[in-house]
Amino acid sequence: MAHRIAVIAGDGIGTEVMPEGIRALEAAAKRFNIDLEFTTFEFGSCDYYLEHGQMMPDDWFEQLKDFDALFYGAVGWPEKVPDHISLWGSLLQFRRRFDQYINLRPCKLMPGIQSPLAGRKPGDIDFYVVRENTEGEYSSIGGKMFEGTEREIVIQETVMSRTGVDRVLKYAFDLAQTRPRKKLTSATKSNGISITMPYWDERVLEMAKQYPDISVDKFHIDILTANFVLHPDWFDVVVGSNLFGDILSDLGPACTGTIGIAPSANINPEGKFPSLFEPVHGSAPDIAGKGIANPIGQIWSGAMMLEHLGYKEAADAMVTAIENVLSEGDSQVVTRDVGGQGTTESLGRAIADTI
């Protein structure tokens, strides 16, 4: 039976890296005999917004809910549509309505990639950031008062639920159990953010009781970001709230030099709704239209999607192909950001061929 994949390329370089993501997936599908069926959607982009006054049609949920996965490019083009409108009208809707409560991002120092950290080699950095993806600091409750006057105030509520916190912690502990080091680090800020964050800590302690084999530590987010830079080798699985996970899952890839190529998965673990796979990089309006964007983030996200669909071997083959092409580092093939003169397409083709 075919796996039905909804494809939304979005904005900017999203539209350029998407074809390479699909090319690589098709290569893997062929080699491992997987039946993938891609259906492309135009909505979820700023151009769609400019034409229709909204980011997606009213029935987007109905249109997408029965797919097996969403393969997503990047959304946002601030000169066309303010970010909080484009994002809340698309990506953040998917995460919430499809209850993709896990955002998972590997941070791995890859061969051929220069880490900005002194003296770190492939193998030195290899951890996952698990981010809560539906509640917390990204709330839609709050507002403004005394608008336009000197007394103006704005308020926004952070909301954490036991359901929301426990399920992301459970996922993170389970993931830690599959890893050789069996180590979990919790991101907190309970010394300053004195209501929600002590609650988060409390739930971590509670959950830890069920996982006596996992070694657990916690850091306040300020010193944790410092430790990503100073001691990236300390980490195995790092779990954080929506905001803290967001920060750590950009900083982590930056420390591995892979911010332009890192993948991410927005997962509904129960499979009740489709999960969504997207590169960490955004739509990058500044380099859009030049054909020089690195497609690896999109391809690697495709690998995460295959793994999610149950094809671990095929996923591994895709990641190995990425590693091999990066190791070779042929300057005619790899893109500018990793030191070559290649194009989105040359790099994408090389990876697909290797698969």
Interface contacts to its own copies, rule CB under 8 A: 76, 82-84, 87-88, 92, 114-119, 137-138, 140, 142-144, 149-163, 189-199, 221-223, 225-227, 229-230, 242-243, 246-247, 249-251, 253-255, 259
> At 168, which amino acid appears?
V
Cβ atoms of residues 143 and 258 within 8 Å: no
> Cβ of residue 3: shortest distance to ligand IPM, in angstroms?
24
Q: How far is the CB of 100 from ligand IPM (least distance, A)?
A: 11
Long-range contacts of 34-37 (CB under 8 A, 24+ apart): 34/3, 34/306, 34/309, 34/311, 34/314, 35/1, 35/2, 35/3, 36/2, 36/3, 36/5, 37/2, 37/3, 37/4, 37/5
Sequence-distant (6+) residues with CB within 8 A of 195 are none
Nearer to ligand IPM, 73 or 340 (CB): 73
- Work out which of 191, 210, 331, 332 binds ligand IPM, going by CB under 6 A: 191
Q: How many whole angstroms separate alpha carbon 39 and alpha carbon 47? A: 19
Report the C-alpha gap between 324 and 68 in whole angstroms.
29
Q: Which residue is nearest to ligand IPM (CB)?
A: 192
13 and 293 Cβ atoms separated by less than 8 Å = yes
Minimum distance from CB of 222 to ligand IPM (Å)? 5
259 near ligand IPM (CB under 6 A) = no
Q: Which does 137 bind (CB under 5 to 8 A by kind): ligand IPM, its own copies, none?
A: its own copies
- From the list its own copies, ligand IPM, none, pick the one residue 266 interacts with, judged by a Cβ distance below 5 to 8 Å according to partner type: none
Binding residue for ligand IPM, selected from 152, 222, 316, 353, defined by CB under 6 A: 222
**Nearer of residues 1 and 118 to its own copies, judged by Cβ:** 118
Taking the alpha carbons of 22, 26, 27, 28 in that order, is the dihedral positive or negative? positive
Count of C-beta atoms within a 10 Å radius of residue 212: 7
- Which is nearer to ligand IPM, 15 or 346 (by Cβ)? 15
Residue 150: CB minimum distance to its own copies, A? 6
Residues in contact with ligand IPM, counted by CB under 6 A, come to a total of 5
Q: Residue 248: which H helix or E strand, with range? A: helix 242-255
Strands 215-220 and 237-240: unpaired
Q: CB 112 → ligand IPM: shortest distance, Å?
A: 25
3 state SS of 217: strand
- One residue of 116, 123, 143, 192 binding ligand IPM per CB under 6 A: 192
Q: Which residues form the interface with ligand IPM (CB under 6 A)? A: 87, 191-192, 222, 246
